[in-house]
Each structure stands twice: as structure tokens, then as C-alpha cells.
Structure 1
Amino acid sequence: MTTPAKAATDREDIARRLLRSSAKASFDPLVEIDWDAPVDPGRYAIRPERVSLYGTELWERLSEAQRRELSRHETASVASIGIWFETILMQMLIRHAYDRDPTSNHIQYAYTEIGDECRHSVMFAKMVGRLGAPYYRVDPLTQFLGRVFKTLSNSPLTFSAALYVEEILDQLQRETMVDEELEPLVRAVSRIHVVEEARHMRYAREEFLRVWARRGALSRAYSRLVLALVVYFATTRLVHPDCYAAVGLDPRAARRAARRNPHWRNSLTWMARKAVATFREAGVIRGPGRGLWRRAGVLEDEARASAAEAAT
């Protein structure tokens, strides 16, 4: 009888801290960022080694200007995935809050996070436009699966999926925001997102571990499989094939080269490493869905096998 009471107290205490932090360090991107400043075509948007084709034969064929342009388009593609998933997350958080007590700190923080995500989506959308790139829509299958997921998601899936996507974006943006050689606009967007997402990740991680511990075997098996699908589709769609067409490359050939590229595989495992550690410790990466984690290229000890499989 004491364990549930302690969990509820811990949940409220964590949410209270997150609400205080939000009050002290939240940003309005429309005010904080200089959207009128010109984008510098002489700068990369992300570090060259994080571009999906870095080190490949196709990369060597590109001029330096094309490489920088590709970095801007890939950044826009990642931001587009961020908008797509944040829209899903906002709907799932609203569903989470729907039949719960709005006077609780836990639900008040859910509302706070929804507000943050609204601003982040606008911020990402404005950045995409300023980078001279289109909004890179996910393919119809992924779009359909996103609709299904947001409708049928349970609590462990809501928070585990949020944690995964937030962690991979956070890793990339933490590196970007401190590199003074990169495009200032992308660095400014990254800095705001990192500060506010740190709270979101704490909220998601704590709630996932809390609800996961109370789930039975059938619910856990279902959640493992669906999360693996989320990981696979979110990760493999980070770079839209049209990014390659934007710099004059054949999208199919470039996508094949990226899948086989050990540098890109290393970047994926690096971006996902914290999320993978959390889910491994919780016993999530097992069963039929493990193969999807491997095919997504985010399991460091199996990335080579996945790259070899993609090459066949």
C-alpha cells in the first residue's frame, strides 16, 4: 500500500520542480531569435560529419557549396520530422490529460509542455523556411502509421516514444548549439530547444519508468513492438530523399549510399545512445521488435550487421 502513495508523491514533486523551471527558463522564439538576419551560405547547418553522405564517394563528388547546401536541407528534414512528431505528441498529451485531475502538478506540467511544443513547432517551421528548404513531409505510410499510433497509444508508448525522439534531437542540437562555425540561426534554435526539452525528457523518462513498472506481460509485449516501429520509422525518415535531389544527386542512389555509410551509422547510434541505454535497462529492447531497432541502425553493437544487410 505504501509504494503507490510514494510514486504519486514523487510524480507530483517532479512536476512541481519542472513547473518552477518552466517559469524561470522558457522562451518565445519569435522574440528571442533574429529571424531577419540572413542565412550565411558559407556555413554548414550541422557539422559536416553529421551529414548522412559524409565520407562516401558521393560526398567526394560534391562541391563545398553543395555540401553546405545539403547540410541545410538535412537540417530542415530533421526539423520537419520534429514538427510531425511534436504534433503527434501534443495530441497524446491532451489524451493523457483528458480524464485526469487538472489541479495536479503532473497534469499542469502536461499542459505546459503542450504550450512549449506549440512554440517549438512554429520555431522549426520558421527555421525551415529561412534555410530555403521545403517542409519535408513524411511518406504516406509513415503519415498513416502516425495517425494510428497517436490514436491507439497507451501511457508507456506515449512517454517512451516522446523520450526516444526528444533524445535523438537533443544529442544533435547540443553539439550544434556550441559550435561557433555553424549557422547562427540553427544554433539559436538548437539552444532554445535543448533548454526546454531537458524538462520534457525528464517528465517523459520518469513517467515512462513509473507506468512501465506497473504493466503486465501482455501490455509490455505490445508496447515493445509498437515502440520498435516508432523507432524504425522515425529514425529511417530523418533525412528525406528529396534532400539529395536538392543538390543534384539521384535520391535513390544517395539513400542507398547513406544506409551503407558507416559514418552515418555512427551518428545514428550516437544520437540514440542515451535513449537506448534507458530502454535496455528497462528491458524494452527485446522480443520481435528488436530486429526493428537493429534495422534502424541505433544499436551500436549491431550497426555493422544492419549496414551489411542494407547493402545486399
Structure 2
Amino acid sequence: MGNDAVAIPAAESLAQRLLTGSVKKSYDPVVDMDWDAPLDPGKFFLPPELVSLYGTDLWESMTPEQQRELSRQELANVLSVGIWFENLLNRLLLRELMTDDPTSRHSHYTLVEMGDECRHMMMFGKLIDRIEARPYWPNLPGRLAISSLQIFLRGSMTWVGALVGEEIFDAVQRRTLDDPQLQPLVARAMRIHVTEEARHIGFARDALARRVPTMSAAEIAYTRLCVAIAAPLFVYLLTNRHMYDRAGLDGRAARRIASENPYARKALATGAANLGAFLDKQGLIGPVGKWIWRQRGLL
């Protein structure tokens, strides 16, 4: 996002529509979720088919209680990754506002999105606490690595990073909203997140699509490299070995099984399908990137 955004009526028009939509339908997780509702001891915290070991021999050998516990740990990990990501995204958006026109609708919606992300982080943290799990927090080297990403994610990569972090989760969540096996509290949190993330995704797609025609060959090459790297990083974070340890499994062995699980790869590919098609249309996922994404199960 830059000063050129306010000179483009289409960008301002979209931002105004998103601002109007935010007024009509936004949520406060403190009051819009029933945090005192009891958890159902027979329901999962992620739908079984989205748990990373689903369909494997190891999964079939687990008791229903062990399967639910793994779904609880995987949800806590996904929520933790979501908190890291939305923290980073807000830093990127705040930096962009330093050079944007503070009177533009584009800037105003950026501020609204940042507010949404703050509430999402609180919702995720409260949900981790409510399901009586512990967050999966990076060690010092991990925190430094995550913090350093804001140095490299500039220009087009601000929006690519936003889409990689938002679209795949969004697609997966949409498939699970009405799953009868899912804890009602979790389903409610997913519905809130999906509703507000739909606006964020539209905003990021528009910003990236408008930037592409002005990008130099060097920026396109750099963006393609970052897109390629994003795939293994995303899969790595989703299959944190410590969540298997906490579920009573051999973390290293379980992670290896999950990485080779065709059911898990299919779920990832389904989640990444629309994003992959969009990036390909914009010319931002080259042959190497496509190969890496296929290797990691995202295509």
C-alpha cells in the first residue's frame, strides 16, 4: 500500500464498501462468544478429517479420547500460529500507514483491519485458555526469526504474506463451520473469523493485483522466491512436533507420518487451491514455487 492507492478511485471504492461492511457485521469476542458454555466431552476441537494424522494407521490405533486430545492440541497450535501471524501482519500494516494518506478510505480500512486482528488475537488466546490448553510459543531463536520477517516483507510481500496466512486457514475453516462433531464454541470462533477475514482477503487481493503491473522484474523474482519459501514454513508450523508430544505420542515419528499423510496433504491442497490460482494468475508463483508447493502438499 502506498500513496498511489488514494489516487485510484477503484481502491477507494472498495475500501469504502469494506468499511460499510465492517459497520454492519463485526464482532467483539468478549461479548459475542459464550465463554461460560460447557465443552462437550464427546466432540472434537478440529473435525477429525482435518487432524494431521487422520486416516493413518497411527490414527486408527488411537482411542477416541486420544484422537480428541490430539485435535485439542492441534487447535491450540493453529491458534498460536494465528496469533504470531496476526501480530506480524499488524506490524506490517502499521508501517504502511506511515507513508499512506491518513484521509484516505484505504488508510481508514487498514486501521479497521488492524482492530479486527487485535480482537482475533484476543479471541484465539481466550479460546486456548478455555479449552485448557497451553499456547505453543516459539523459543528465543524462533521469536527473533518471526520478528525479522517484517524486515523482508515489504511492498508486494506485505500482501502476499497476508494472503498466505489468511486464505489457507479461511478455506479450511469454511469446510468445518457446520461439522456436527465440532465443539460449538470452536465453531462459533471460526464463524466470526471467517466473516471478518473475508473482508481482509478481498482488501489484500485488490492491493496486490493493483501493484503487480508496476513491479520490476527484480521485485517479481523476489516475490516468487518468498512465495516458494512460504510453503514449507507454513507446513512446518502446522505440524509442530510438540503438539504430538503433548498428546502422548512420539513427536518426531508422528510429525514424519503427518508429513506423508495423503489425507492431510489433500486438506492442505484444498485450502491452498484458490490462493495458488490467484498467485499464478498474477505471475507470482513460478515453476520452482509450484514444484515446492506440490512437494509440501499445497498444490
Q: What TM-score bracket applies, with the shorter chain setting the length?
A: over 0.9
> Contact 2:76–2:135 at 8 Å: present in 1 too?
yes
Structure 2: which 5+ runs fail to align?
Answer: none
TM-score (norm 1): 0.90
Shift of 1:55: 1.1
Q: Secondary structure at the match of 1:181?
A: coil
Shift of 1:72: 1.3
Give the direction of change, closer, same or farther, for the CA distance of 1:239–1:39 in structure 2 (3 Å limit).
Answer: farther
Aligned to 1:77: 77
Aligned to 2:54: 54
> Contact 1:7–1:210 at 8 Å: present in 2 too?
no
> Contact 2:6–2:12 at 8 Å: present in 1 too?
no
Aligned residue runs from structure 1 range 57-206, under 5 A = 57-138=57-138, 142-206=142-206
Shift of 1:127: 0.6
TM-score (norm 2): 0.94
Task: Tell me the distance in 1 between the aligned counterparts of 2:289 and 2:145.
Answer: 16
Aligned to 1:303: none
Aligned to 1:244: 244
Task: Tell me the distance in 1 between the aligned counterparts of 2:267 and 2:5.
Answer: 42
For 1:63, the aligned partner's letter is: T
* Most deviating of 283-292 and 35-44: 283-292
> Contact 1:43–1:182 at 8 Å: present in 2 too?
yes
Task: Tell me the distance in 1 between the aligned counterparts of 2:291 and 2:47.
Answer: 30
| CA RMSD across the alignment | 1.8
For 2:72, the aligned partner's letter is: R
Task: Tell me the distance in 1 between the aligned counterparts of 2:66 and 2:24.
Answer: 41
Shift of 1:121: 0.3
The C-alpha deviation readout for 1:196-245, integer Å capped at 9, x for no partner, is 00100000010011112210100110111123223321232113212211
> Contact 2:239–2:258 at 8 Å: present in 1 too?
no
The C-alpha deviation readout for 1:56-86, integer Å capped at 9, x for no partner, is 1111121001101111111111111110000
Shift of 1:285: 1.4
> Contact 2:6–2:101 at 8 Å: present in 1 too?
no
The C-alpha deviation readout for 1:140-163, integer Å capped at 9, x for no partner, is 555433222212322210111111
Shift of 1:295: 3.5
Q: Secondary structure at the match of 1:166?
A: helix
Aligned to 1:286: 286
Task: Tell me the distance in 1 between the aligned counterparts of 2:112 and 2:216.
Answer: 30
Q: Secondary structure at the match of 2:194?
A: helix
Task: Tell me the distance in 2 between the aligned counterparts of 1:50 and 1:197.
Answer: 20
Shift of 1:291: 4.3
> Contact 2:43–2:182 at 8 Å: present in 1 too?
yes
